[in-house]
């Protein structure tokens, strides 16, 4: 089953105090264009995440957003400058002794001393961080791909319906085409009769009709368009990324319909051709959504 290029997926994973949420959104695009946004320290994994996502999507404008999972944060170590704190304590005690004051110090006050506490990020293994991030991304990719397949199923249904309408119109053209030379013979004979040219050689009339029939013959175009419609059904059943193939196929279908239209010296055929052109254009628009 084909996949749509429109989709959304979300994945979350945490382990040993490290956790991330990955969200993936995509829309139509001719190629695979992946943009990753998230905390600066995770951008070192950007290329690896792109390769991971490409396993699930080959086309589309894909936006990836990484955030820290709720309750998870950076690993931070706090160093206490005990020498500095002791110096402040001794200074306060000296003031109390010499000035007769009773200034009381508590831990909260001591921790507000400038430079008493120093925060630094705890060292973490980048591969352990990536393992957690990759798992969150993989979970997002799975729901993302599932949604794209679901949308692709709906899209395939619409495309099949459109193909069936084109097939029905082509059948009208197929039935009508053989009648046109005979009608041309009748019109030519009647016209000659009106001009009192009844003595015209029947072989000459037959030759003129043959030339006309060859000129307006659309048998080859009908056969090719019929083949394209059959191929359309085959591609819609494929699990591969067939968007580009479908786009080319529709261009060929449009070419055959235009050729039939240029040869259609008949009102009924012209109406059918215009209806087919409208349906082929619907195909072209919808196929832009196929991966």
pTM, 2 dp: 0.71
CA distances from 118 to 77, 83, 87 (A): 8, 13, 17
- Is residue 22 included in any domain, yes or no? yes
Residue 43 maps to which CATH number? 3.30.230.10
Q: Distance between CA 5 and CA 142 in Å, rounded?
A: 14
Q: Are residues 135 and 48 in the same domain?
A: yes
Strand partners, 11: 22
DSSP 214-243: HHT--HHHHHHHHHHHHHHHHHHT-SS--H
Instruction: Write down the pLDDT at residue 191.
Output: 62
Judged by DSSP in three states, 15 sits in strand
- Is residue 2 included in any domain, yes or no? no
Burial of 46 (0-12, 13-18, 19+ CB in 10 A): middle
Q: Are residues 235 and 182 in the same domain?
A: yes
Instruction: Write down the pLDDT at residue 209.
Output: 55
Instruction: Write down the pLDDT at residue 101.
Output: 79
Q: Are residues 18 and 81 in the same domain?
A: no
Q: Are residues 190 and 262 in the same domain?
A: yes
What range does the domain containing 85 cover? Answer: 76-121
pLDDT mean across residues, the chain: 85
69, 95 in Cβ contact below 8 A? no
Judged by DSSP in three states, 101 sits in coil
Q: Are residues 47 and 169 in the same domain?
A: no
Q: Are residues 167 and 138 in the same domain?
A: no
Mean pLDDT by 10 residues, the chain (291 residues): 94 90 96 95 95 95 92 65 84 81 76 77 79 96 96 95 96 83 59 58 62 68 93 92 95 93 82 94 95 94
CB atoms within 10 A of CB 269: 21
User: How confident is the model over 127-179, as pLDDT tens digits?
Assistant: 999 999 999 999 999 999 999 999 999 999 999 999 999 999 999 988 887 77
Instruction: Write down the pLDDT at residue 201.
Output: 61
Total domain count for the chain?
Answer: 3
- Is residue 203 included in any domain, yes or no? yes
Instruction: Write down the pLDDT at residue 289.
Output: 94
CA distances from 105 to 108, 116, 188 (A): 8, 14, 118
Strand partners, 57: none
User: How confident is the model over 185-201, as pLDDT tens digits?
Assistant: 556 555 655 555 556 66
Place of tokens 């352990």: 128
Instruction: Write down the pLDDT at residue 257.
Output: 94
Q: Are residues 117 and 156 in the same domain?
A: no
Q: Are residues 85 and 181 in the same domain?
A: no
Residues 6 or more apart whose Cβ sits within 8 Å of residue 157: none
- Is residue 102 included in any domain, yes or no? yes
- Is residue 136 included in any domain, yes or no? yes
Q: Are residues 11 and 138 in the same domain?
A: yes
Q: Are residues 81 and 184 in the same domain?
A: no
- Is residue 17 included in any domain, yes or no? yes
Q: Are residues 94 and 213 in the same domain?
A: no
- Is residue 1 included in any domain, yes or no? no
Q: Are residues 99 and 136 in the same domain?
A: no
């Amino acid at each position: 089953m084909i996949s749509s290029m429109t989709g959304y997926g979300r994945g979350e994973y945490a382990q040993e105090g490290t956790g991330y949420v990955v969200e993936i959104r995509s829309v139509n695009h001719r190629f695979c264009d992946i943009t990753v946004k998230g905390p600066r320290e995770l951008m070192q994994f950007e290329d690896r995440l792109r390769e991971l996502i490409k396993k699930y999507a080959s086309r589309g404008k894909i936006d990836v957003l990484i955030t820290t999972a709720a309750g998870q944060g950076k690993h931070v170590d706090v160093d206490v400058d005990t020498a500095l704190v002791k110096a402040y304590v001794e200074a306060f005690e000296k003031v109390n002794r010499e000035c007769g004051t009773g200034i009381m110090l508590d831990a909260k006050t001591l921790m507000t001393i400038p430079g008493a506490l120093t925060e630094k990020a705890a060292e973490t293994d980048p591969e352990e961080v990536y393992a957690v991030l990759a798992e969150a991304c993989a979970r997002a990719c799975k729901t993302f791909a599932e949604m794209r397949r679901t949308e692709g199923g709906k899209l395939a249904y619409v495309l099949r319906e459109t193909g069936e309408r084109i097939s029905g119109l082509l059948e009208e053209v197929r039935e009508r085409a053989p009648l046109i030379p005979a009608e041309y013979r009748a019109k030519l004979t009647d016209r000659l009769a009106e001009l009192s040219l009844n003595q015209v050689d029947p072989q000459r009339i037959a030759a003129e009709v043959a030339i006309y029939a060859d000129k307006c013959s659309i048998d080859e175009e009908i056969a090719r368009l019929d083949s394209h419609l059959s191929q359309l059904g085959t591609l819609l059943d494929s699990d591969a990324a067939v968007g580009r193939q479908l786009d080319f196929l529709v261009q060929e279908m449009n070419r055959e319909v235009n050729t039939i239209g240029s040869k259609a010296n008949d009102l009924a055929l012209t109406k059918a051709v215009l209806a087919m052109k409208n349906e082929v254009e619907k195909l072209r628009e919808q196929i832009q959504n196929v991966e």
